Amino acid sequence: MWYDMWYWFLLIPLLLFSLFTQFRVKSTFKKYNQIATKNGLTGAQAASMILNMHNLVNVRIEGVSGELTDHYDPRSNVLRLSDSTRDVNSIAAIGVAAHEAGHAIQDGVNYVPNKIRASLVPAARIGSSSGPYLAIIGVGISYSIEFGMTLAYIGLALYVFAFLFYLVTLPVEFNASSRAIKILNTSGILTSDELKGAKKVLNAAAMTYVASTVSALFSLLRIALIVLGGRRRD
């Protein structure tokens, strides 16, 4: 069918874009993780300073293994910094730590997109893991079982929640980076030249979220075409 042709035509550049964003974030992080800052602070120390500036004394800082596995856990008020960030003094480490502290600040001020994303997590997990399979199975059994297309629509609807999660993640991540850059600038944690490097690291990381959202949209359209095609044949 025509949409199968367009599927493969669009899939290749999407895969290339995703690979490029992954390569860019790793190479940019590696470059600026080798440049020490003048203040001598580690990622953990910078994050602690930022949290204290915003009276977030209830947020703990812990380590997590791996590289670029940094994240903020709002359920337990824990900011986890990876091996490549926590005890490292570099432009990249401080930039990433400040970004994660930005998520803690969002949680502290009840940033609306952050709350929306948190509310979507349960449905998004189910939709991402089960939605496509339910849609395909539903279309497949619709020829012999009456409720087949109902199952397909349920699968499609579940995946919509997964896409919405990716979509609302964009403003959350961009806002966390914006907060981080502003704080690093106004607090003097980084110099103006060091700040340019931190921006490059965070901008590269942001593009991976853009790629994930585009990929989710692509999958949603693909599933919708399969379901709509099954309805026409029904």
Q: How many domains does the chain have?
A: 1
Q: What is the DSSP secondary structure assignment for residue 190, as one 8-state letter?
A: S
Quick: pLDDT tens for 150-159.
888 999 999 9
The model's pTM? 0.88
- Token pair of 87 as six digits: 């005890």
User: What residues act catalytically?
Assistant: 100
State the residue range of the domain holding 210. Answer: 2-233
pLDDT at 188 over 60: yes
- Which amino acid, 143? Y
pLDDT at 196 over 70: yes
* Three-class secondary structure of residue 11 per DSSP: helix
